[in-house]
Amino acid sequence: MPTLLASADQVGKVFNNAPMDARAVQTAFASGVSINPATCASAVAPVLEGTYAGSGYTGLATQGLQEPKPGRHRVIQAVVAFPDAAAAQRFYAQQLSVWQGCKLTDVTVSYTNGQPDDHAKITVVTDSEGIATTVLLPAGPNDPKDSACERAMSARRNIVVDVRACGPNTMTALHADPQHRRQHHQPPITTRPRRG
């Protein structure tokens, strides 16, 4: 499954060829974080155990990438396998419904390592060509106003792609590269700067 993840070079190219440091690929859900309200957790962060509990998933691979310069672009990408395409599509539809129900909701992200809480507002939720996206705008009094996060999710065959990218003027997207899809039956995750 790690071969389905985008490379650091692929991610960096869409940030104007920014160098991206890739962490080791993990096969466990994200930990050390809690989100309030919990019902909107999946719209805020990828690969949370509570999001996938009871879904019937069969495996996952996740990786964090970060631009070395502090305060710049950060990406979490994940691929999660399901028994078949129908199961992956059902999960995607369920999460899209959850995200839509969280539109214009203020959320707080708390960390167990003592890091200060993050505050954000879930804004517009879209579903275009089978890709769900939502933008999270910083809502804390000390949060940089030019640094937003976007969540994206898609289901291709039996794989759910789950990604979040944060940074100045950053938007994320799933780009279906034809050659990659032929090889892996799954589009890689890429990100692109927001235009305008």
* Blockwise average pLDDT, block size 10, the chain, 196 residues: 90 81 93 94 96 96 88 88 98 97 95 89 92 90 74 94 83 38 41 38
**CATH assignment of 2-182, given 3.40.1000.70, 2.60.40.730, 3.40.50.150, 3.40.50.970?**
3.40.1000.70
| E-assigned strand segments in 97-169 | 106-111, 118-128, 131-138, 147-156, 159-168
Predicted local distance difference test score (pLDDT) of residue 75: 92
Give the pLDDT confidence of 35-74 residue by residue, as tens digits.
999 999 999 999 999 999 999 999 999 999 999 876 688 8
Contact 18, 12 (CB under 8 A): yes
DSSP summary character for residue 97: H
Q: ∠ at Cα 121 (40, 195), nearest 5°?
A: 115
Average pLDDT of the chain, as a whole number = 84
Contact residues for 191 (Cβ-Cβ < 8 A; gap 6+):
11, 14, 15, 73, 75, 163, 165, 170, 171, 172, 173
